[in-house]
Every structure is written in C-alpha cells, then in structure tokens.
A = this chain, B = another copy of it.
Amino acid sequence: MYIYIRTLGMSTSQLYRGSLTTIILKLLEENGEMYGYEITQRVKELTQGDLEIKEGALYPSLHKMEAAGYLTVTAKKVDNRVRKYYDITPAGKEETVNRLAELDEFLANMQRIINPKLSFE
C-alpha cells in the first residue's frame, strides 16, 4: 500500500479561476504548437511547481477553444503513443491580445484596491 503526500506550496488558491484560457493562449502564441501534457509540464516548470494544471480542467478547455476556432489540433504518433498537438489560429491570436489586455486591467484594478496609495492619475 502506498500513500501519496500532497506537496506543500501547491496552489489551492481560487485566484487562478478564469486564467487558464489566457495561460494556454499565451503559451501557444509564444512556443508554437504544444500538446496537452506538455502544457501542464511547462506551467509547472515556469512556476517552480507552484501551479499544476489539472487534466480535468485542461482537456475540456482545449476542446472548447478548438470549437471556438482559437486552436487547431493535429494528432501525431510518437513512441507508439498518440499526442494531440494544438496550434493557435489567427482568431486565437486576436483572442490572446484581448485576454492579455483583460489581464492587465485586472492587475491594475487589483493594485488600485490592494495598494490604493500607489494609484495615481
């Protein structure tokens, strides 16, 4: 019998809700085509293990973005196993710009609330 201890530092925060689409779009825009599992590992690496994208969130999100026309998917067989590579479309690039603008606004608004003294103009 094996017992798995949950690692400390793992994000249980609700703040990431709503940010997954933005994260995926930005990674694909930056790196070119990626497959799902690769995205989870890249995010884990970039955040030093702090943020672990769950498959239950990731895959439905990718499917939804493909249905929306933001991504295309291509299945490739590597080592006798199927990978689904996602690539960003022109509509996806537009959406990336919008999402990043929204993120900037969100960050600015949170600053205004959390640190009102630094909010000039």
Interface residues, chain A, with chain B CB atoms under 8 Å away: 11, 13-19, 22-23, 26-27, 30, 43, 46-47, 50-51, 100, 102-103, 105-107, 109-110, 112-114, 116, 119
Contacts and interface: CB of A to CB of B under 8 A. Distances in A.
A100 to B, nearest CB: 7
Contacts of A11: 105-106, 109
B113 A27 contact: yes
B114 A110 contact: no
Nearest to A98: B13
Contact of A106 (B15, B109, B112, B113): B15
Contacts of A107: 107, 110
B113 A13 contact: no
Given A13-B102, A47-B109, 14 more contacts: A13-B105, A13-B106, A15-B22, A15-B102, A17-B17, A18-B18, A23-B110, A46-B112, A46-B113, A47-B112, A47-B113, A50-B109, A100-B114, A103-B114
